[in-house]
Structure 1
């Protein structure tokens, strides 16, 4: 029922024929030309948009016939004065001796000047360069409104800090229409009620008994003085109570206003009305207004449609250099709006992205960024200009983390992904580099299907730097790849690049292995990573060889930790069960065997050559083998070093990855120790083994800015092939989806 009553204007606080709902009280303007307006927040009933409602109750104690006349004049003039610089009025109505005027959302200037917190919100500071720039633009808007009003032969007569209101963007709007009347109107409201104004707001000629009818022939005289009173109230620091006792002659003693404004202020407040500065001359001559960078920047943005492409780019570049001087609120709601309009109607270019992103860096709230900057970014991704796309991609780190997730997945990803298939090599490279900043916002489905597919394709690109950057990208996004496919995706992605003839590509693959070891399963480390990187220990490049050993050290360290978690008791029971079920298996009984035989029993029971090659021997005496014969540990290393592959006769024996070297001979008789890696001494050194995360090597191997010689001129190094006589790496190992196999 209440909804129905509100719909027909009869319920709640609804007012007939007034399609707005009153909200909380914001301010009571008691000195507002003697009309006690109550300023309220409000909403429009159709869409819930915010408005400001001025309310005057004629039944209040301070009401009189004069105040009622002035309030009705506001209601009438507000709906008819549709001039630039004036507060926009949506509707006004009189109901139950109360006048309601609905305007665009705003705050009284006197409220902002009197509240330091609100003042900082609008101008970033209580005083200083940004505040002065905001005042310069405000004075320009008020002056332009007065000039337009005078062209219609109307006088405002009530210019002050209480007749100026500040909208959401920080711009000033003129209101206070109580005394608006015709210039030649003898019985107009201004001539009837000017005596109620404070002395400092009245020109000296109106203080005489004649009222100045014969001494104020120029239409601008009254409002020029009022504009000077407005300037004084802004920079004097006095509240309205103290301003009410200020005389006109006292205003000249203000020493806190900027130097560039003082000459214009003196011209506006001249005691001789014939010598008083016209308002349009104040706009052009006052350096404070005409020389303001903020004012000039907005003028140039308004004239973009009249400029050619070269001049527009010059405007954008200059705007970027002076952006820090402007209040943030103005950048958000004025400059961004103008730049967005330029982009939509063909006035934008790649250069326009610079001021947009510079504003974006000052927006720390993702919600505000999503409302104001994200739509512009989406529009730019739809542009067919390759330079715009290149600027977007190269600056992705500045804006991508603040973009809304839904916008990236639904609107931006589709045009973004076209860069992977571009015929422009620079565009492909920048796309894969920018992907690092977008992946955290993408859905797992897109990562599993599209992202992995595009990165894999770029790993086969004809340009070596692009292949390198694709591998780096895969490492940096490893944390965001779904867990179910992460290990194999990383192993296959990095493994296929180990055979790349482009040196930085092989380095990137090895560093990626080193930085993502914690993502790989023990089985992949043992069956794919270590066998896959081992052949590169013979690479002609020393940095590659060093990285190989670091990757192997990190992998072995991880395998050692995993081996410590395997239940030993289960393995012993299995060995005992195997010995019981097969008396001829060659496993010596602990009762009849000597110390050496006992030490070798677990390895023999496993039926594998690895137990005796990589383990620690308990004695230098003979050990039992799988066929029941005793051999010396040194004979294993010797056989290996001579190139023979004498595998045990057990059916479960596995061939070694490669022939052993003299270094491995020591490992058969002592505990294993990782090779000592020299400390990095230059930017080409890799991080220490076992480092986690993908960024550990990002600085030392950049994204390949400088393009090396054509890849086609390079020949694969012979060290990439598996040269050991006892091992051959199948293609299926890294590229085909399975683990590495050894023959």
Structure 2
């Protein structure tokens, strides 16, 4: 074997590689048989190898063995018949070595040696019929096979028997040549006249005489299992009674009286068989009309369980696949689906997935009925595809089904089948391309398609990345909740429940629950039930989140309280040291401010009483002012009870100055006068009461509700207010006081009122706005006087 492998390796034109050897059981050993496979596409083959120095026949007869091998190669090339072993290619080396590749097959002699219980009856019937047809073809061409035996018959993986070993094929007109090659025929298969050497009788006998005798010997061997001598042919106990008459006619002692081997195919024993009928129909399947073909293919899956597995995989499958390509349609695909139950997973992937499935799914046929069958059975073919094939071929073809607006059934089947492809889709196809198709399918005209799309989104939620979840899940489910089709709304609720862990509590409160709430009173009972389930699923999430917020708020209050206490301790320590915040620069600024204030008060006093002391500040007054300033910490304002008629102001250094005379009060009292008040920064730790500044005055139209300024107890986190003694989460909800609308009699329409309406009423003031300028510029309409006060 290594020798032939070397020869094969050095011959670059021979496309097959040699594998394991196959026993031939041929006494002549003209050829060495081996398994082979194509170097590029991997197709299996049977390799015949001849070498003059290795063949037993070559050692015995010299150069005539090479002539036999060349004759066999020539006849194999030229004799083309469905029942003759199919020739693939050959190679002849310069040293006389011949390599021949044929279709994969096994010698019948090897099968008989391995079969302890004998061959199946139906397999024998079909095999004998095919060999009879091959011999009939040769005899009609006036050719004699001359070497028929169990070693000359080859069985294909599909169960067909093929005639081979054509080395001794001789034209009947040149029967004398057969005398030189008759030694290649095993002795037990030789006819009586050949065994005795009566060549005159052989020459005058019909062309079928030699082969008919050999065929009778083959019938005996396949029924008994062994055949070693012609005397055994008299024992007919193992021969079926149905074929016994034909067996006896084939073995007639007179060559002229032997039945032609080619007529055995018409014998009732061979034709009355369901297996034979099946094979006959399969062979003529291509020429059957569409009705016959469809009826046969519909019945075939129910019969496949009783057929040999090799027959289904090697014969039915190629024929059915070809029928699909030629428009066989749904019935042919049903046979292929049945193969999944017959073949092993590895065999199914190798023979169907690699050979046919990718071609079917990568190029979707325009036959919509077949497309639906392909899509519905996609799950069975997924193991046949790798990720590259799915993303590059299968998935793009499936996306075309999403866009087939002519067939809602194809769109619906494509949506359902995509779940089987999802685990093998890459990130782009899954999170971008597929979701974009689903976004369109959610507004499909068919309610069932919208429902199934929503269901698929929910089932694919775990497979999506975080970015796709944020963009897809909430909008898709909320959209489905508004669908007019009740099952679509129910599917959206189920999807929300199944993917609740992917939603943020804020999204639940602001986006999801507002959309779910109306479905609690949905007319459809199933939708209402799912809505309550959804509500019960999300409420615990919000309750838990509320607890977290409360704990965070408590921690923030404790942190602020601790910071305030540390600030008080730091301030007390600074005051005790005598320096505190009183730096030189700060002291100078305070003295300057106090001097200015004091001089102003002195001037006023001098104007009122000319006999008062001269203008200036004495050392005693300065000492009193400094003592007063040092008794108040920086940042606090203080007003004694005896200064009720005065007004206190505070500058940026926190120094308090008391005016001896209050400033005049005008309409803009609440406005910031630029004296340094601004917003008072009050620490949370201060026990003093926080008084909110008065809101700016607004002009209100007559009849508008009064707007109350918020009190200190209702401060919010957003405005910076706080209530130290109360928990924000335990505060009661704010109450809104609604005034009872007063009855207004409609005024009589006048040109003035119509023009005012056309010009635009002051809707902002009527609603409590602040458009005071417009109100001052225009008098109230006369109709306001009709308001009952």
TM-score when scaled to structure 2?
Answer: 0.63
Counterpart of 1:82? Answer: 79
Counterpart of 1:658? Answer: none
For residue 480 of structure 2, give the secondary structure of its aligned residue in structure 1: helix
Displacement of 1:69: 2.6
Counterpart of 1:391? Answer: 373
The two structures, once aligned, show a CA RMSD in angstroms of 4.5
The 1:575–1:69 alpha-carbon spacing in structure 2 relative to 1, beyond 3 Å, is farther
Counterpart of 1:655? Answer: none
1:417 aligns with 2:399: yes
Displacement of 1:25: 5.0
Q: Residues of 2 paired with 1:17 and 1:76: CA distance?
A: 24
TM-superposition CA deviations, 1:24-49 (whole Å, max 9, x none): 550353x4252353223456789886
Counterpart of 2:142? Answer: 153
Counterpart of 1:576? Answer: 558
Displacement of 1:485: 1.2
Displacement of 1:504: 1.2
Aligned counterpart in structure 2 of residue 348 of structure 1, from 315, 325, 328: 328
Please list, as runs of the form range in 1=range in 2, the aligned pairs for 1:283-302 lying within 5 A after superposition: 283-288=265-270, 290-302=271-283
Counterpart of 2:360? Answer: 377
Query: Tell me, which stretches of 5 or more residues in structure 1 are unaligned?
Result: 1-5, 120-125, 590-603, 610-624, 637-644, 649-743
Q: Residues of 1 paired with 2:298 and 2:22: CA distance?
A: 42
Q: Residues of 2 paired with 1:548 and 1:275: CA distance?
A: 91
Q: Residues of 2 paired with 1:263 and 1:551: CA distance?
A: 82
Are the aligned partners of 1:397 and 1:437 in contact in 2 as well (CA < 8 Å)?
yes
Are the aligned partners of 2:52 and 2:65 in contact in 1 as well (CA < 8 Å)?
no
Q: Residues of 2 paired with 1:480 and 1:280: CA distance?
A: 65
Aligned counterpart in structure 2 of residue 197 of structure 1, from 186, 208, 216: 186
Please list, as runs of the form range in 1=range in 2, the aligned pairs for 1:352-371 lying within 5 A after superposition: 352-363=332-343, 364-365=345-346, 366-371=349-354
Q: Residues of 1 paired with 2:461 and 2:139: CA distance?
A: 68
Larger Rg: 2
Aligned counterpart in structure 1 of residue 384 of structure 2, from 399, 402, 409: 402
TM-superposition CA deviations, 1:612-633 (whole Å, max 9, x none): xxxxxxxxxxxxx957469998
Q: Residues of 2 paired with 1:368 and 1:214: CA distance?
A: 48
Counterpart of 1:244? Answer: 228
The 1:249–1:587 alpha-carbon spacing in structure 2 relative to 1, beyond 3 Å, is farther
Displacement of 1:260: 6.5
Counterpart of 2:650? Answer: none
1:440 aligns with 2:434: no
1:23 aligns with 2:18: yes
Counterpart of 2:218? Answer: 230
Q: Residues of 2 paired with 1:585 and 1:21: CA distance?
A: 93
Q: Residues of 2 paired with 1:70 and 1:373: CA distance?
A: 43
Q: Residues of 1 paired with 2:39 and 2:407: CA distance?
A: 53
Counterpart of 2:90? Answer: 91
Larger RCO, structures 1/2 (Cα 8 Å, 6+ apart)? 1
Q: Residues of 1 paired with 2:352 and 2:367: CA distance?
A: 24
The 1:526–1:629 alpha-carbon spacing in structure 2 relative to 1, beyond 3 Å, is closer
TM-superposition CA deviations, 1:323-342 (whole Å, max 9, x none): 33333333334333223333
Counterpart of 1:730? Answer: none
Aligned counterpart in structure 2 of residue 69 of structure 1, from 55, 64, 67: 64
Are the aligned partners of 2:85 and 2:103 in contact in 1 as well (CA < 8 Å)?
yes
Q: Residues of 1 paired with 2:185 and 2:352: CA distance?
A: 47
Q: Residues of 2 paired with 1:79 and 1:279: CA distance?
A: 24
Task: Indicate the larger mover: 517-526 or 435-444.
Answer: 517-526
Count matched residues: 581
1:181 aligns with 2:170: yes
Displacement of 1:221: 3.0
Aligned counterpart in structure 1 of residue 152 of structure 2, from 163, 173, 179: 163
The 1:407–1:537 alpha-carbon spacing in structure 2 relative to 1, beyond 3 Å, is same
Q: Residues of 2 paired with 1:226 and 1:195: CA distance?
A: 13
For residue 445 of structure 1, give the secondary structure of its aligned residue in structure 2: helix
Are the aligned partners of 1:33 and 1:197 in contact in 2 as well (CA < 8 Å)?
yes
Counterpart of 1:210? Answer: 198
Displacement of 1:585: 9.5
The 1:92–1:397 alpha-carbon spacing in structure 2 relative to 1, beyond 3 Å, is closer
Displacement of 1:544: 2.7
Please list, as runs of the form range in 1=range in 2, the aligned pairs for 1:416-565 lying within 5 A after superposition: 416-421=398-403, 422-520=405-503, 524-525=507-508, 527-556=510-539
Are the aligned partners of 1:383 and 1:389 in contact in 2 as well (CA < 8 Å)?
yes
Counterpart of 1:698? Answer: none
Displacement of 1:15: 6.6
Task: Indicate the larger mover: 407-416 or 520-529.
Answer: 520-529
1:339 aligns with 2:323: no
Displacement of 1:374: 1.0
Are the aligned partners of 1:204 and 1:271 in contact in 2 as well (CA < 8 Å)?
yes
Q: Residues of 1 paired with 2:247 and 2:332: CA distance?
A: 37
Are the aligned partners of 2:132 and 2:263 in contact in 1 as well (CA < 8 Å)?
no
Aligned counterpart in structure 1 of residue 34 of structure 2, from 30, 34, 40: 40
Displacement of 1:419: 2.5
Please list, as runs of the form range in 1=range in 2, the aligned pairs for 1:1-12 lying within 5 A after superposition: none
Q: Residues of 1 paired with 2:561 and 2:470: CA distance?
A: 37
The 1:628–1:185 alpha-carbon spacing in structure 2 relative to 1, beyond 3 Å, is same
Are the aligned partners of 2:104 and 2:157 in contact in 1 as well (CA < 8 Å)?
yes
Are the aligned partners of 2:324 and 2:333 in contact in 1 as well (CA < 8 Å)?
no
Q: Residues of 2 paired with 1:388 and 1:301: CA distance?
A: 21
Q: Residues of 1 paired with 2:380 and 2:723: CA distance?
A: 64
Aligned counterpart in structure 2 of residue 311 of structure 1, from 278, 288, 292: 292
Displacement of 1:265: 4.8
TM-score when scaled to structure 1?
Answer: 0.66
Displacement of 1:578: 3.5
Task: Indicate the larger mover: 51-60 or 432-441.
Answer: 51-60
Q: Residues of 2 paired with 1:479 and 1:333: CA distance?
A: 42
For residue 423 of structure 1, give the secondary structure of its aligned residue in structure 2: coil
Are the aligned partners of 2:305 and 2:342 in contact in 1 as well (CA < 8 Å)?
no
Q: Residues of 1 paired with 2:417 and 2:12: CA distance?
A: 55
The 1:244–1:522 alpha-carbon spacing in structure 2 relative to 1, beyond 3 Å, is farther
Are the aligned partners of 2:461 and 2:499 in contact in 1 as well (CA < 8 Å)?
yes
For residue 253 of structure 1, give the secondary structure of its aligned residue in structure 2: coil
